[in-house]
Amino acid sequence: MFGLFSRVRGPVVCDDRLSHIAFIMDGNGRWARKRGLPREAGHARGARNLYRVMDACRARNVRIVTVYAFSTENWKRPQKEVDEIMKLLTSYLQSAYEDREKNETHVRVIGDTAALPEETQAMIDRLDRETAQYERVLNIALNYGGRQEIVHAVNTAIAAGKTTLTEQDISDALYTAPLPEPDLIIRTGGEMRLSNYLMWQSAYTELAFTKTLWPDFGAAELDEILKDFYKRHRRFGGL
Ligand code: FPP
């Protein structure tokens, strides 16, 4: 049913025009620096904020959320910072597993997981398998790069015997398949770029940028962005 989003004081409740939101969770390091804390403290607050934002998305009927947790380029950061982000990720995966019946969310990891430690890969597979029955989805982009994903999709299609590819062949072989493309990408932290995120899937995605640093991003600002989204006229190349 297409109608205006319902807002009778309280959260914006999304309808089927908005089923998928992707976040670029930027600004953890600056959040920490402003407080004289090490960058790792910013990532810890950022990880904590993801629980809050997931609750807000659930309350707003957003079916699919994708978050950019670690890019293929993030390995260039100091080892201490990489280790801390990985620790936060595994602890997030662990609590997502423990809370799977409460959250009723299919948690998947998208990206080149083959580069991760074997026990992390096993954890990811188990979580994916044992939450696969849920309609609500959280994609965590980990060791993810949008161009790498396209190359991987092309190679997957070639390995399956294709010699000439269609757009559909590539879409079907993306890490995010068979999910719909994001309707909205929200980037916190003030930068106005996509940083190799969901390059194929974002062809017609609406974009929202906020200066708010990720650990400070919350439900009230999400509602403002959702209200703005619903004012936009998406044409998908048509009139
Ligand atoms: C960008 O902020 C953030 C990252 C590269 C990592 C995001 C990681 C988390 C939110 C924590 C772990 C994730 C999960 C899913 C539990 P930045 O470090 O580039 O910030 P800056 O631009 O202020 O330096």
Which ligand 1 atom is the nearest neighbour of the CA of 43?
11
Separation CA 112–CA 81 (nearest Å)? 20
pLDDT at res. 2: 44
Domains assigned to the chain = 14-231 (3.40.1180.10)
Catalytic status, residue 28: no
**Interval between CA 39 and ligand 1 midpoint (Å):** 9
74 as an active site residue: the answer is yes
pTM of the model: 0.94
Of the residues 61, 74, 169, 216, which is catalytic?
74
Two structure tokens written together for 143: 């060791």
pLDDT digits (tens, 9 = 90+) for 4-19: 554 456 889 998 899 9
pLDDT digits (tens, 9 = 90+) for 166-199: 999 999 999 999 999 999 999 999 999 999 999 9
Note whether 155 and 206 are within 8 A (CB): no
State whether the Cα torsion 32-37-43-47 is positive or negative: negative
Identify the residue whose C-alpha is closest to ligand 1 atom 7: 69
Percent of the chain residues past pLDDT 90, beyond the cut: 91
Residue range 31-56: mean pLDDT, rounded = 98
How far apart are the C-alpha atoms of 99 and 166, rounded to whole Å?
A: 40
